[in-house]
Structure 1
Amino acid sequence: MSRLYYSEEGRVMPSLCEELTIFRRARKTLTLPATNAPGTVYILARPYPENNAPLRVSMNGAEVAALKPTRRGAYSWYEFSVEKLKEGENTFELWTDHTAMAGWSLAMEAGHPAPDSAISDDRGHTWRNERMGYLNAVLGEYVIRVRLAEGEDPPPPPMVWENADSSRFESLRQILPPAARDEGPLIKRVRALSSWLASSWEHTSSARAEQYAPWDAETLLAWAPGQIGHNGKRPVAMCVHYAAAFVSCAQAIGIPARCAVLTEAVNSFNGHFVAEVWFDHLRKWVVVDPNTDALFLKNGIPMSMDEIQAAGKNLKTHIEYGRGTEFQRTFPHIVEFMQENLEKGVCFQHRSVWFRSDLLEHPEFSPPAHGSLSYCEIGLVWEQRDRETGFGMFPHFGNKDYFNAAPVR
């Protein structure tokens, strides 16, 4: 057993993070219990594309790591083992040997009124926990976590759904395609909704746009097709947004649905975001990809996540594409993703669920930039096996019963 210690939720916006130099240093304090074993430190950071200098880390005044850059230009998890952690406050200090902000960025969650993080502009002689971030304009917690052998992670949180009487549903239902709204076989309604969303806008990642779109279905359907959103900028509207919109739209017409996150590995670029729909007559959650408009079938029966993972590299033979795929295939980057990732089952090697499906009633709990950096949100619940396979920077893990349980309102 082990337990993760942290003081943020991974709600990171890349445009509001910290920059490090030899002068500008970041500090984070975590309060830990007594331990007799080494701990594992996890840091979410981004090396600049041309940077070769290490990210230097001290703990309680002694340098403990010089992390070499990997995945340059992207926020990724870096981990290392430390000894001599003490009971009570443990302080980590981070810097690089660059004199300009051209070496390392440190992930930060903005919005903490009294953070246990601080910034220094004079090599650590003086510190402040205000006016942080590279523009000295925000308050926040740096994303640094520690896992100790002592303790045990809490049980995963229960699934949360939209209120069936949500006031948001009426206007949302009015814009849905009739084939999804009308009574009929569940599989046909699911297909109609998936095809409609896949045909609605061009997948736009954070590499091609600046402003991340919120997980609000009606806003997405207003912003993404016209490619203009907050502050007049083209919105980031990618796989996560198709699935989030699907989950809200499905619940609006009485179909239980939730968000599922997929990845080849921690820090992998081969991730994806899909939806799962509860098929009561099959007593299982069925996977739907409303980005590529893909359903997964075995002998004509929709497949669960477990069944898809068991199919391994032979997944292509189980994929049934819909009308929305024709639109998505007009974009070369989606064709490449389908051929090299989805159809080979690459992204299905590890899965998690976003435990909150109340995206309309409680938008404040939705991530502000999921998919723009390595997965880091604590609202993700991974499989128990993943705790020992590189996902120790997350606090929630569920067993098969958790993932396969029927929805309970």
Structure 2
Amino acid sequence: MATFEFTHSWKAAELDRCMRRNVVSGASGLGLRRGVTIADESGRTDTRNIETVKGLRQARKRFQLPTAPATETALLCPYLRRVSEGGQLQITVNGESVPFELAAQRDYWEDAWQRIEVPARLLRQGENEVVFRAVGDSQWSLLIEESRHPDRSEISDDGGITWRSEELGGSDRADGEYVVRLWLDQYANWGEIISDPVDLLAASGEVATTHGGSAVARLDVEWSTPECTGIEFSW
């Protein structure tokens, strides 16, 4: 049986065309993307589907973290507007208050998205809860995305004594997740990159015209990884 051999090397430009998840390319090679967003929704909603936080009516969003954050600061990012003139909103993360002051003037494209710094020490592995409470007569609104799972958004009508995950929003007719996200300034836990197809039979005319034979593919890779990281290859 005749044996044919050829080598294919991926250059930087080819890697840029590869399908990838959580991977970025730079001068030093491929690396994990920095920045991890924890979210239970994708924003498929509109400004008519809102939850109003006022008086005894409080909103709670729960996040599930696979590990404790490996960073000093996180960002809480709710799609949040103030409905009333003036007033304050109290936000607590796992029972501790975090400072929040609505900017007096913002560009229209970021009018409702808030970026609230949260000390990472307040976050923990497993379940974390964020509670929104209006102060005084102020009123605030959160967006709701209609969904059934994972059921981590809740409302209270008695000042936080009891909570429910159904009958959210105006007229208590919504069921879904609040558009509230958590951003962690750390690298993704994993990444994946998939090359373009490599046509072994079309690699040379001699191989392409061979019939009835068999082909054996071998993948040889040279790489380097930072400490406490690893890499896997599959062909």
TM-score computed with the length of structure 2 as normaliser: 0.59
| Corresponding residue SS for 1:135 | helix
1:75, 1:46 → 2: CA distance?
8
Partner deviation per Cα, 1:82-141 (whole Å, 9 max, x = no partner) = 121111111000021244xx6211111122355201000111000000000122001011
**What is the match of residue 86 of structure 1?**
124
Which structure is richer in relative contact order (CA contacts within 8 A, separation 6 or more)?
A: 2
1:153, 1:77 → 2: CA distance?
26
Runs of 5+ unmatched residues, structure 2: 1-33, 193-235
Q: What stretches of structure 1 move > 3 A for 4+ residues in a row?
A: 69-75, 153-156
The verdict on how the C-alpha distance between 1:54 and 1:46 changes in structure 2, with shifts beyond 3 A counting, is same
2:150, 2:58 → 1: CA distance?
18
Q: Does 1:25 align with 2:63?
A: no
Aligned alpha-carbon RMSD (Å):
2.8
Q: CA deviation at 1:151?
A: 3.2
Structure 1 or 2: larger strand share? 2
The verdict on how the C-alpha distance between 1:152 and 1:131 changes in structure 2, with shifts beyond 3 A counting, is same
| Corresponding residue SS for 2:48 | helix
Match of 1:7 among 17, 21, 40: 40
| Corresponding residue SS for 1:66 | coil
Contact 1:55-1:69 at 8 Å conserved across structures: no
The verdict on how the C-alpha distance between 1:70 and 1:7 changes in structure 2, with shifts beyond 3 A counting, is farther
Match of 1:105 among 141, 150, 156: 141
Q: CA deviation at 1:153?
A: 8.4
Match of 1:42 among 63, 77, 86: 77
Q: Does 1:136 align with 2:172?
A: yes
Equivalent position amino acid for 1:94 in 2: F
| Corresponding residue SS for 1:122 | coil
**What is the match of residue 89 of structure 2?**
55
Please list, as runs of the form range in 1=range in 2, the aligned pairs for 1:117-128 lying within 5 A after superposition: 117-128=153-164
Partner deviation per Cα, 1:237-287 (whole Å, 9 max, x = no partner) = xxxxxxxxxxxxxxxxxxxxxxxxxxxxxxxxxxxxxxxxxxxxxxxxxxx
Equivalent position amino acid for 2:171 in 1: L
Structure 1 or 2: larger helix share? 1
Aligned residues: 155
Contact 2:100-2:116 at 8 Å conserved across structures: no
The verdict on how the C-alpha distance between 1:24 and 1:149 changes in structure 2, with shifts beyond 3 A counting, is same
Larger radius of gyration: 2
2:105, 2:60 → 1: CA distance?
23
Instruction: Determine what percentage of the aligned residue pairs are the same residue.
Output: 28
1:70, 1:119 → 2: CA distance?
28
Match of 1:96 among 134, 141, 144: 134
Q: CA deviation at 1:14?
A: 1.4
Q: CA deviation at 1:5?
A: 0.9
TM-score computed with the length of structure 1 as normaliser: 0.35
Q: CA deviation at 1:64?
A: 1.1
